[in-house]
Amino acid sequence: MSMARAAEPPGIAAGINQIEGYLLLQGERDAARERARRLTGRLDWLTSAQRAEVERVYIQDQLAVTEQTLRTVVRRCEELRAEYQEVYRTLRRRLLLACLLGAAALAGGVAAALTVR
């Protein structure tokens, strides 16, 4: 999700994601249809019915491959998000600890300087 998308209300972002998914699917369907036509165009011995069936099966197979690929990408994105969130939490804890230790050291130094006087 982009920075601009992150600032949008969840309902709007979800709607935009659905539209993007629909457009992606339509684009893939069109591309699969074109690949199927090119394939059957080289098989000039097919009847019209056979050509239509080969194209239908090819498109169906291509869309199944696309769906599986997208599911794999989504799963990996979720894994990476979880990993990066954990790294971020760890770094945030370390930074907080460093700030607290620095503040304690500063306070200790100030206290020591005041007692020396």
| Structural domain range at position 44 | 19-87
| Spatial distance between the Cα atoms of 63 and 85, rounded to a whole number of angstroms | 32
Looking at the domain assignment, is residue 72 inside a domain?
Answer: yes
Burial class (CB within 10 angstroms; exposed 0-12, middle 13-18, buried 19+) of 59 = buried
Q: Is residue 97 part of a domain?
A: no
Of the candidates 8, 6, 4, 23, the one whose C-alpha atom is nearest the C-alpha of residue 81 is 6
Q: Look at 5-14, 39-48, 70-79, 83-92 and tell me which has the smallest mean pLDDT.
A: 5-14
**Residue 52 located in a structural domain:** yes
Whether 66 is covered by a domain: the verdict is yes
- Please give the model's pTM, rounded to 2 decimal places: 0.64
On whether residue 59 sits in a domain, the answer given is yes
Q: What pLDDT is recorded for position 10?
A: 75
Within a domain: residue 58? yes
| Percent of the chain clearing pLDDT 90 (strictly above) | 73
Residue 92 lies in a domain: no
Total domains present in the chain: 1
